[in-house]
Chain A
Amino acid sequence: MGMLEILQLTLITAGACFFVVGSIGLLRFPDVYTRVHALTKADNLGLGLIVLGLLPGAESLAAACKLLLIWMLALAANGCSGYLIARAARKLGVVPWSRPEDEEENR
């Protein structure tokens, strides 16, 4: 196992860890808005790291570009759906959670 493979596996494992962190955030965070934060950001970074780790193993330049294209598409889809879910929650009247001492800023 060469240096490159070790680096690749490290990147990919780090990416998977970010996915786990995103799921933990989804469970631990107190309301839908904060959960969107956790899921969107952690998963995007996780997928980015996994794609970066897989890039050297791609069999051709086109295949490498396809990996990047998938990441960019997932990035855009994630950003859009995070915004749409947050907007729908506002629409449904879900009140954002806030710490008791910040209560007056809560709407």
Chain B
Amino acid sequence: MTTRSEMASLDPPPVPSFDRQAPSRLIEALLVRVSLLALTWWVLVGGTDGWGFGCVAVVAIAALSLRLTPPARCRPRLRHVPGFLLFFLFQSLLAGGDVGRRTISPRLPLRPAILHLPLTLPPGPPTWLLMLVVSLLPGTLSTSLGGRTLELHCLDHGLQVKDAVVEVERRIARLFGCPPAPGDDG
């Protein structure tokens, strides 16, 4: 059971796992995805028109997405999304301020370096989110992912880059509901 769902978190997910999922989890995932897609449709259309097409499209896309990406063991938990979003917004504010300060300063205070950090997050979506968020953090930029080592470019090696990345990892692990377990990933 656990090994199979861990397999599902890797890409590409094996298609047969679609109908072997627990039904309750499938129904929950279907409801969440249909609501999100319906919300997107409402935003795109900008009102109450076109729900005939909308319903068909929403249901079709939700079914397709369930087939292609069945619910994994590590998936974003709705109750942790607002907290993560706030953290992210605050960090991007800091990042913009930081880079702005360095740009305007006549001395151009840059001390760039390349760093290699080992990752503890499971591969797949949690790692992708980490790389995206790290690129928008103050002074860091993901440059490549080799196995489970993230290569970073940082603007100033005096910054506590490592601590910041570990903090993001911890928050993403909580968001996805999977503990950061170092070691092999099955």
Contact = CB atoms under 8 A, between A and B. Distances in A.
A and B touch in the complex (CB under 8 A): yes
Contacts, number: 126
B65 interface: no
B132 interface: yes
Interface stretch (B3-11, B24-32, B103-111, B162-170): B103-111
Contacts of A42: 96, 99-100, 103
A85 to B, nearest CB: 10
Q: From DSSP, what is the main secondary structure of chain A's interface residues? A: helix
B46 A62 contact: yes
Contact of A83 (B92, B98, B104, B141): B141
Given A40-B136, A82-B141, A66 B114 contact: no
Contact of A62 (B42, B96, B97): B42
B99 A90 contact: no
Given A40-B136, A86-B142, A86-B143, A30 B95 contact: no
Task: Specify which of A30, A44, A46 lies most central, judged by the most chain B CB atoms within 10 Å of its CB.
Answer: A44
Contacts of B141: 33, 36-37, 40, 82-83, 86
Contacts of A87: 143-144
A63 interface: yes
A4 interface: no
B135 interface: yes
Interface in B70-100: 89, 92-93, 95-100
A41 B99 contact: yes
A8 B43 CA distance: 22
Q: Top 7 nearest A-B pairs by Cβ distance?
A: A45-B96, A25-B103, A79-B132, A41-B95, A65-B43, A86-B143, A62-B46
12 contacts: A21-B100, A29-B110, A31-B112, A41-B138, A42-B100, A44-B92, A44-B95, A66-B43, A83-B142, A86-B141, A96-B114, A98-B111
Interface of A: 18, 21-22, 24-25, 28-31, 33-34, 36-38, 40-42, 44-46, 48, 60, 62-63, 65-66, 69, 75-76, 78-80, 82-83, 86-87, 89-90, 96-99, 102, 105-107
